[in-house]
Amino acid sequence: MICYGQAVLDLADELVDAYADTFSAPPWNEDAETIRQFAVRLQSDSRRRGFRTALAQSATGIDGFATGWLTPATFPKDRGYAQVAAQLGPARVRELLTGALEIDELAVRPYARGHGTGRTLLTEITADAPDRRAWLLTSRLATDTVATYRRLGWHEVTARPGTQTGVIVFLSPGHPGAEGVSGGSGPGPR
């Protein structure tokens, strides 16, 4: 199910709980302050252009969620954006990312993993991505997460020589710019 605006904020406590359950364990190890900051970010993120949240729910509550919005033409500089800009350079950022649907968070509770929850959330949230253009980034240290994105057909964008940082940028399976961008640690999506 896709939710927008106030409908997402009405679920904020449940989303924060799912976020904490997902990201407080390795390899993320997020602390109470970082989790609190997610709650604060959710308030401002809900006002971003194109903001939406995909939810996976069961009788126990929210099993997982994905949040996203349209990446603005003026590429942000906070959070992991500086690393992305350094790796891709301005021309590739404009070509591949700006105006595309940016998946900011994908959180699947441990008990819901291995059942297609993440795949379903990604499929649902990217279903109406502009011109099938969607992207996300993740930590290089999250090897299981990186392997999952590859297995789901996401394409790793090769960093410019000498610019590799702690993050990896992935383009969605249908992203028209995905042809020829895969590289890095393997032959492409698996």
Q: How far apart are CA 133 and CA 69, in angstroms?
A: 12
pLDDT at position 157: 95
Q: How many helices (H) and strands (E) does the chain have?
A: 6, 7
Q: What is the CATH number of domain 2-178?
A: 3.40.630.30
113: Cβ–Cβ under 8 A, 6 or more apart, which residues? none
Poorest-pLDDT segment among 61-70, 107-116, 134-143, 172-181: 172-181
Mean pLDDT along residues 7-28: 94
Q: Where are the domains of the chain?
A: 2-178
Is residue 75 predicted with pLDDT exceeding 80? yes
The encoded tokens of residue 131 equal 């011109």
Model confidence band, residue 72 (pLDDT cutoffs 50, 70, 90):
very high
| Contact of 103 with 126, CB cutoff 8 Å | yes
Q: How far apart are CA 91 and CA 148, in angstroms?
A: 28
86: Cβ–Cβ under 8 A, 6 or more apart, which residues? 163, 165
Q: Which amino acid is at 118?
A: G
pLDDT at position 78: 87
Model confidence band, residue 178 (pLDDT cutoffs 50, 70, 90):
confident
Mean of pLDDT over the chain: 91
Helix (H, G, I), strand (E, B) or coil at 97: helix
SS (H, E, C) 126-139: HCCCHHHCEEEEEE
Model confidence band, residue 39 (pLDDT cutoffs 50, 70, 90):
very high
Q: How many CB atoms lie within 10 A of CB 66?
A: 26
Is residue 17 predicted with pLDDT exceeding 80? yes
Instruction: Name the pTM for this structure.
Output: 0.90
